[in-house]
Amino acid sequence: MTRQLHFNLFVHGRGHHEAAWRHPAATTQSLTDITYYQDLARRAEAALFDAIFFADALAISHEVEHNARGGLEPLTTLAALAGVTERLGLIATASTTYTEPFNLARQFASLDHISNGRVGWNIVTSWVTGAGPNFGYDHQIEHAERYERATEFVEVVSKLWDSWADDAVLDDRAAGRYADPTRIRRIDHVGRWHKVRGPLNISRPPQGRPVFVQAGSSTTGRRFAAAHAEAIFTAHLEKASAVAFYRDIKDQASALGRLPEEIVILPGISPVIGSTEAEAQRLDRELNELTVPAVGLEHLSNRFGGHDFSHLDLDAVLSVDDFPDPETVQAARSRTEVIISFVRRERPTLRALLHKLAGARGHLTVVGTPEQIANTIEDWFESGAADGFNVMPPILPYLFDVFADEVVPILQKRGLFRTRYEGRTLRDHYGLERPANRFFEQASPALEPA
């Protein structure tokens, strides 16, 4: 079968541009109105997207005064979306740093059953400043430790999802046997960070386990992704770095004995689309003119672990000396490297940098006609920079509708994107195999009485 693009709709507030909520084309629905997200999910499914995706942050930032924040929690949102869609994949973010493995495994197993096998887990280590105190920590847990915790966390939840064989549930009314206890087992995990007996108290998910999604692009994050991820969300402002990232991940995965096609790499793209290039540029200017510099500075500060940039002149040309060393940053280190590389290459003013980040926080922003957007997507896809994209509309739902109605058909005519769903699960959409059960390929000890 000819290789084809994968698309996720990444939902973020009223759009990915930080000023989207102020633009007249943006929705006026509340960010706690579930019908808003259900409508977006239906639109994404009608456009034949692989999945809808929700990020998450475990603390509120000071920018809430000037930016639309305070949306619904992702896992419960997915449960509501599962009931109004049939094929669309459903991906939620959940933290390995501030969540218990048993609870997360149970929640995602439930979601995979509710959706008949359409769930993915975006594995994050929670870099946001302020998250720690919300969970009883008086400091931010360091970058290296967060990934150590994440590695063990993934091991524990994977064992829990495998603690039931696929045929453990008999549901034999005549014999009076609901389940076969020889096909359910404890995991008895004892590690540095977690001690979990198991088994899980819900049967194995339809997909075996949720699709593993990951977004870290630091050196540590890449190693973790090459070992565990099945889909990777990544941020690149230019194609060359995306090609290098793509090749590095696939090479690392191969070295670990994985097939490169077992990992789908999806950079973010935020398309500002107009019927003409001038119209698209005008819309981009409108959005940037609605920004509040304090919001952009807050975003930038968060990316650099709370570093204060307020002393810099908005119209002064930046240099890398204006930023802390990325190796000292305990937040999202991969994004800090993207920002510093851009500053080194382009030498923007602080105002220009804030506008660049306002659209998609360090992801690729493309301004142009539907044909130009499609050309960029095809170029990255054919150049070995991407297997598809996390589509991040600057204004929701307006610019998603334009993308679905005007960009997708161009890609379909070029044979680059599906014209119908071939499968029903998220694994089907991504072309991923259902994982084998580590415990029940051979005889396993039975469940012991509690």
Q: How many CB atoms lie within 10 A of CB 136?
A: 7
What length does the chain have? 450
Written as six digits, the tokens of 51 are 């999945």
Does 363 belong to an annotated binding site? no
Under 8 Å between Cβ of 170 and 179: yes
Tokens 């810099």, residue?
312
Tokens 């075996």, residue?
208
Does 218 belong to an annotated binding site? yes
Tokens 């301004």, residue?
367
Does 56 belong to an annotated binding site? yes
Under 8 Å between Cβ of 10 and 268: yes
Name the nearest CA neighbour of 298 among 141, 73, 130, 93.
130
Q: Is 308 helix (H, G, I), strand (E, B) or coil?
A: coil
Checking phi first, is residue 139 left (phi over 0); if not, alpha (psi -120 to 50) or beta?
Answer: beta
**What distance in Å separates the CA atoms of residue 228 and residue 236, rounded to the nearest whole number?**
21
Name the nearest CA neighbour of 120 among 348, 355, 430.
430
**What distance in Å separates the CA atoms of residue 369 and residue 273, rounded to the nearest whole number?**
5
**What distance in Å separates the CA atoms of residue 153 and residue 368, rounded to the nearest whole number?**
43
Does 143 belong to an annotated binding site? yes
Does 217 belong to an annotated binding site? yes
**What distance in Å separates the CA atoms of residue 17 and residue 339, rounded to the nearest whole number?**
17
* Helix or strand holding residue 228 (H, E): helix 219-228
Does 430 belong to an annotated binding site? no
Burial of 4 (0-12, 13-18, 19+ CB in 10 A): middle
Under 8 Å between Cβ of 37 and 81: yes
Across-strand partners of 91? 53, 120
**What distance in Å separates the CA atoms of residue 368 and residue 97, rounded to the nearest whole number?**
40
Under 8 Å between Cβ of 343 and 318: yes
- The answer to whether the peptide bond before residue 199 is cis (omega within 30 degrees of 0) is yes
Mark the binding-site residues, compressed into ranges: 56, 93, 143, 147, 217-218
Give the annotated binding-site residues for FMN.
56, 93, 143, 147, 217-218
